[in-house]
């Protein structure tokens, strides 16, 4: 007994495409004061044994 | 129906802000802050050079709550450690003040020390933060030139830790 099964033709493989990703940061850069403040915050977290990365 | 009570973390930060606003220059303290702010992270928008005068330069303290650690649970709540970062800033404009590693005026350090001393004294004057906490402490202060130099301002960063019981019923 043969099954009447439709066999789909293989899909042609998609060609790899090159996409230009603009070099834009995900978040706006903080101002220099905020950057200094956040450096301090990271230091404080590191010294308390957290955020060691 | 009455509204829910404010969360304990909010009460603690509000109490700290009120505490800092109560600093008055005189025999106990050097500088009266013109503003005490709460900001997510200290930034240029916190500084307002139009405040103050030549004899009383703009002095602005900014509180920025950080993360919080949860510790032991009790039958009524959870021991919690709240972290709050403080940025203390005072207008400071000596001539030729451009290089953080060759500052022409050693008074920046003196101003930084005075602000730090004022705030430390005020906070340690009420270790239970208006009975909202078990203990407040200051584990880190940074006045280093390379980390705190801001042209036109003397700046100090301080970290505050507040230990409290986060009540289940709160």
> How do the pLDDT tens digits run along chain B, 170 residues long?
888 888 899 999 999 999 999 999 999 999 999 999 999 999 999 999 899 898 899 999 999 999 999 988 888 899 999 999 999 999 998 776 666 666 656 788 899 999 999 999 999 999 999 999 999 999 999 999 889 989 899 999 999 999 999 888 87
Chain A CB within 8 Å of residue B148 CB: yes
CB-based burial, B96-130: b 16+ in 10 Å, e otherwise: ebeeeeebeeeebeebbebbbebbeebbeebeebe
CB of B134 closer than 8 Å to CB of B149: no
What is the rounded distance in angstroms from the CA atom of residue B145 to the CA atom of residue B114?
16
pLDDT at residue B15, rounded to an integer: 96
For residues B86 and B23, the answer to whether their CB atoms sit within 8 Å is no
Instruction: Say if the ipTM goes beyond 0.85.
Output: yes
Q: Give long-range contacts, CB 8 A cutoff, 24+ apart: B49-55.
A: B49/B91, B49/B152, B51/B91, B52/B91
Among chain A, residues having any CB pair with chain B shorter than 8 Å are 30-34, 36-41, 43-45, 47-48, 50
Residue A43 is encoded by which pair of tokens? 């230091």
The beta-carbon neighbor of A37 closest among B83, B87, B140 is B87
Question: Taking the model in full, what pTM does it have?
Answer: 0.82
- pLDDT score recorded for residue B5: 85
| Cβ distance of B140 and A43 shorter than 8 Å | yes
Instruction: State whether residue B66 sits within 8 Å of chain A by CB.
Output: yes
Q: What is the pLDDT of residue A52?
A: 46
Give B2's contacts (C-beta < 8 A, 6+ positions apart).
Answer: none
Candidates B67, B157, B163: best to mutate against A (most CBs of A within 10 A) is B157
The CATH number of B8-157 is 3.30.2000
Query: How far is Cα B55 from Cα A11, in angstroms, rounded to an integer?
Result: 79
pLDDT below 70 — which residues of chain A?
A: 1-29, 49-53
* Residue contact B44–A41, C-beta within 8 A: no
Nearest CA in chain B to A29: B43
For the stretch B70-81, what's the b/e string if a residue is b when 16 or more beta carbons lie within 10 angstroms of its beta carbon?
Answer: eeeeeeebeebb
Which residue, among A29, A40, A47, would best test binding to B if mutated, counting the most B CBs under 10 Å from its CB? A40
Tell me the chain A residues in contact with residue B41 when contact means C-beta distances shorter than 8 Å.
Answer: 30, 34, 37-38, 41
Interstrand relation of B35-38 and B59-73 (parallel, antiparallel or unpaired): parallel
User: Between the CA of residue B79 and those of A51, B46, B134, what are the distances in Å?
Assistant: 21, 32, 10
Of B146, B147, B157, B122, the closest CA to residue B136 belongs to: B122
């Amino acid at each position: 007994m043969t099954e009447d099964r439709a066999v789909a033709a293989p899909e042609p493989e998609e060609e790899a495409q090159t996409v230009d990703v603009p070099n834009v940061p995900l978040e706006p850069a903080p101002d220099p004061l905020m950057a200094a403040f956040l450096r301090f915050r990271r230091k404080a977290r590191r010294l308390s044994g957290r955020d060691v990365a | 129906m009455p509204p829910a009570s404010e969360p304990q973390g909010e009460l603690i930060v509000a109490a700290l802000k009120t505490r800092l606003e109560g600093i008055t220059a005189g025999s106990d303290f050097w500088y009266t802050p013109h503003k005490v702010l709460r900001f997510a992270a200290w930034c240029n928008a916190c500084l307002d050079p139009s405040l103050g005068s030549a004899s009383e330069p703009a002095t602005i303290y900014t509180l920025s709550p950080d993360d919080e650690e949860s510790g032991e649970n009790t039958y009524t709540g959870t021991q919690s450690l709240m972290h709050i970062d403080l940025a203390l800033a005072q207008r400071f404009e000596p001539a030729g003040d451009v290089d953080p590693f060759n500052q022409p005026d050693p008074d920046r350090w003196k101003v930084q020390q005075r602000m730090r001393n004022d705030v430390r004294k005020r906070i340690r004057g009420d270790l239970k933060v208006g009975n909202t906490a078990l203990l407040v402490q200051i584990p880190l202060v940074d006045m280093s030139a390379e980390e705190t130099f801001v042209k036109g301002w003397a700046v100090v960063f301080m970290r505050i830790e507040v230990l409290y019981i986060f009540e289940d019923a709160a």
